[in-house]
Amino acid sequence: MNFIQRVAAGAMAIGTLAVSLAITGCANSPVTALASAAKPSNKQQVVELLKSIETGDPKPFAYIDPNKYIQHNLAVADGPAGVKALLQAVPKGSTKVETVRVFADGDFVFAHTAYNFFGPKIGFDIFRFENGRIVEHWDNLQETAAKPSPSGHTMTDGPTVATDLDKTAANKALMQQYMDDLLQGRKETFASYFDAGKYIQHSPLVADNLSGLFAGLQALAKQGQAVKYDKVRMVLAEGNFVLVVAEGSFAGKPAAYYDLYRIENAKIAEHWDTIEAIPPRAEWKNPNGKF
């Protein structure tokens, strides 16, 4: 089974809320800081809802608007009923979760999570809020790499707390322009977006620095696993962290790309990602589409 087939099998098995934003034993994490808030913020609501996968606590389901909730994980039926059916199928006590990063952009909360749910996975989740309640959800999941990247990084290590909050709009615009140049084939501008000698890469098959990125992409292409972006679907940001959601193909098959970038001095300094296969339309359990 090749890489994208493993990604597809894992994603279809685990479903929409197969990620958790709960951290145990990490006092300096952004999630721990949220827990002390008297009134749950949007971030904290997501934390509590996804934590319920592990604990079985039904109370956080009150954060979902049952009349409006839209599900974009194609392995799960629409609405709260689809989520509950998934959770009922999970063996009790089998889920372990760890939130690494959680950010907010207006009515959207996006999070980066390592967990064990029908096997180890790395996932990004996006939740949209309306009038203080969750009304929509997207995610992207990938099997956790068995070993560190060529430069020794895991898929989740590195900085976790957003800084430069006053530069959110500028950093978001930077990545929108980067993706536009990428999609338009403007190769001459590509290198200018990176801090080439300091660029840190968390993709398991790619080394650090811009030279490592080029070499990794070329190696994947030679192995028949070419990375191709076709369309940007969403760009979200908080401070120096920007999440880009895109549609494209991996190894010639439809795929969703979730790329998280850390920006430093108006340059891309660090990158994390997940790649998930998009199943054929006949296999979808809801009509909402991946994006």
Domain boundaries, the chain: 3-144, 165-277
Kindly indicate the confidence band of residue 18, based on its pLDDT and cuts at 50, 70 and 90: very low
Q: Tell which wins on pLDDT, 144 or 16.
A: 144
**Which of 2.40.50.140, 3.40.50.920, 3.30.450.20, 3.10.450.50 would CATH assign to domain 3-144?**
3.10.450.50
Kindly indicate the confidence band of residue 110, based on its pLDDT and cuts at 50, 70 and 90: very high
Query: 165-277: same fold as 3-144?
Result: yes
pLDDT above 90 (res 257): yes
Residues contacting residue 82 through CB under 8 Å, at least 6 positions apart: 16, 71, 76, 285, 286
pLDDT above 70 (res 5): no
d(CA 108, CA 199): 27
Q: How many CA atoms lie within 13 A of 286 on its CB side?
A: 25
Q: What percent of the chain has pLDDT over 70?
A: 87
Domain 165-277 class, CATH top level: alpha beta
Residues in the chain: 291
**Exposed/middle/buried for residue 182 (C-beta within 10 Å: 0-12, 13-18, 19+):** middle
pLDDT above 50 (res 21): no
Mean pLDDT of 78-96: 82
pLDDT at 172: 98
pLDDT at 86: 79
Q: Tell which wins on pLDDT, 90 or 250.
A: 250
Average pLDDT, the chain: 87
Residues contacting residue 73 through CB under 8 Å, at least 6 positions apart: 11, 15, 16, 137, 138, 139, 286
DSSP output for 61-105: GGGB-TTT-EE--TTS-SHHHHHHHHHHTSPTT--EEEEEEEEEE
pLDDT above 90 (res 277): yes
Tokens read off for 142: 């990938």
Q: Among 36-40, 273-277, 280-284, whose mean pLDDT is lowest? A: 36-40
